[in-house]
Amino acid sequence: MRNCSVCDGPVQNELRQVWISGLVGTDVLPFLVNACSAACVAALPEPYPGYVQTPHTGGPDIVQPAPRRATSALVL
Ligand SMILES: [Zn+2]
Kindly report, residue by residue over 15-62, the tens digit of the pLDDT. 898 888 877 888 888 888 899 998 998 888 776 677 666 667 767 666
Distance CA 58, CA 68 (A): 21
Please check whether residue 62 lies inside any domain of the structure. no
Distance 27 CA to ligand 1 centre (A): 26
Instruction: Name the band, by pLDDT with cuts 50, 70 and 90, for residue 64.
Output: low
Please check whether residue 8 lies inside any domain of the structure. yes
Please check whether residue 48 lies inside any domain of the structure. yes
Please check whether residue 7 lies inside any domain of the structure. yes
Residue 42: partners with Cβ closer than 8 Å, 6 or more residues away: none
Please check whether residue 19 lies inside any domain of the structure. yes
Domain that residue 11 falls in: 1-53
Domains in the chain, number = 1
Instruction: Name the band, by pLDDT with cuts 50, 70 and 90, for residue 12.
Output: confident
Ion ligand 1 — residues with CB < 5 Å: 4, 6-7, 36, 40
Instruction: Name the band, by pLDDT with cuts 50, 70 and 90, for residue 65.
Output: low
Please check whether residue 34 lies inside any domain of the structure. yes
